[in-house]
Amino acid sequence: MRIAFHTAGTSCEIALIGELDHHAAKAALSEIHARLDQTLPSSIALDMRQVTFMDSSGIALILALYKRARALDGELRLRSLSPPVKRLLTAAGMDKLLDLSA
Amino acid sequence: MRKKPLNYVKLAFPSRSANESLARSAAAAFVSQLDPTLEELSDVRTAVSEAVTNAVVHAYPEKIGTVEMILRLFEGGVIEVVVRDKGCGIEDVPKALEPTYTTGGADRSGMGFTIMESFMGSLSVRSKPGKGTTVRMRKVINRVR
């Protein structure tokens, strides 16, 4: 999995590229945390357009970023969710926590 | 008596996380013979990924063990996926099946079994501490077309 960051002021957009499974998630999350530790954005946007596969490992990653944003009184927004990713997040009840319509 | 499958594949591989994607691809290739919808294909890939990840993360926490995956096709478009390990087993299966319950820490969401059940339709988990775990999932493909 590759990750692209775009930081502007207090917001950071993170684009995930590739398969987000258990194999990829751990390294991805530590890379994201390391980057966010430098800039401490309160608003995080996760661009999922180029995620070709995701399982519950991705849910754990999204939850970690959600908690991180909330800890700084900020928010996490999800962008460009494919139908399978949307179905997965809905099955896991994430629609109660986050807006899945984007 | 159980019916004989029309087709089957048996795979065995070490519990390395790199093999999660191999298991998904193998299951998707097997299911493709039924001409599934993209949604059905994606459901099977996701459920297999959850089952194999469980074996990688939980069955063999301190070592690499063998994970077996058996794919069977039955009459009526029924796909059966069995993922089996000889790892540490699950102490309390009903507890493990509860949504958000995990022993895997913050890296894991605890949603694996919930997703398997929701995406496949049928799920059974048999486990003996110290002996291993067998996860069996079934899904009907191509019901209405």
- How large is the average pLDDT for residues A70-99? 94
Q: Please indicate, yes or no, if residue B1 is contained in any of the structural domains.
A: no
Q: Tell whether the model's pLDDT for residue B145 goes beyond 60.
A: no
- Chain A CB contacts of B53 below 8 Å: 21-22, 55-57
Q: Tell whether the model's pLDDT for residue A95 goes beyond 90.
A: yes
Distance CA B104, CA B143 (A): 36
Cβ atoms B70, A53 nearer than 8 A = no
- Chain A CB contacts of B111 below 8 Å: 56, 59, 91-92
Q: Please indicate, yes or no, if residue B60 is contained in any of the structural domains.
A: yes
Cβ–Cβ gap B111/A25 under 8 Å: no
Per-residue model confidence (pLDDT) at position A13: 97
How many structural domains compose chain B?
A: 1
Q: Tell whether the model's pLDDT for residue B1 goes beyond 80.
A: no
Residues with Cβ within 8 Å of residue B144, at least 6 apart in sequence: none
Per-residue model confidence (pLDDT) at position A3: 98
Per-residue model confidence (pLDDT) at position A72: 86
A56, A63, A64 ranked by CB distance to B50: nearest: A56
Distance CA A53, CA A67 (A): 23
Task: For the sheet with B66-74, list strands across it.
Answer: B7-14, B66-74, B78-85, B132-140, B122-128
Per-residue model confidence (pLDDT) at position B105: 84
Cβ atoms A99, A78 nearer than 8 A = yes
Per-residue model confidence (pLDDT) at position B104: 86
Q: What is the average pLDDT value for chain B, to the nearest integer?
A: 94
Cβ atoms A81, A100 nearer than 8 A = yes
Phi, psi of B92 (to 5 degrees): -130, 95
pLDDT digit string (tens) for B64-105?
999 999 999 999 999 999 999 999 999 999 999 999 999 988
Interface probe for B, chosen from A57, A65, A90 (most Cβ of B below 10 Å), is: A57
Q: Please indicate, yes or no, if residue B42 is contained in any of the structural domains.
A: yes
Fold of A2-96: Transcription Regulator spoIIAA (3.30.750)
Range of the domain at B71: 7-140
- How large is the average pLDDT for residues B28-49? 96
Per-residue model confidence (pLDDT) at position B72: 98
- How large is the average pLDDT for residues A38-63? 95
Cβ atoms B115, B46 nearer than 8 A = yes
Can you say whether residue A66 is alpha, beta or left, with left for phi > 0 and alpha for psi between -120 and 50 degrees?
alpha
Q: What is the CATH number of the domain that holds B74?
A: 3.30.565.10
Grouping H, G, I as helix, E, B as strand and the rest as coil, residue B24 is helix
Phi, psi of B113 (to 5 degrees): -65, -35
Distance CA A53, CA A61 (A): 14
Could you tell me the residue ranges of all domains in chain A? Answer: 2-96
Radius of gyration of chain A (CA): 12
Cβ atoms A100, A82 nearer than 8 A = no
A91 lies within 8 A of chain B by CB: yes
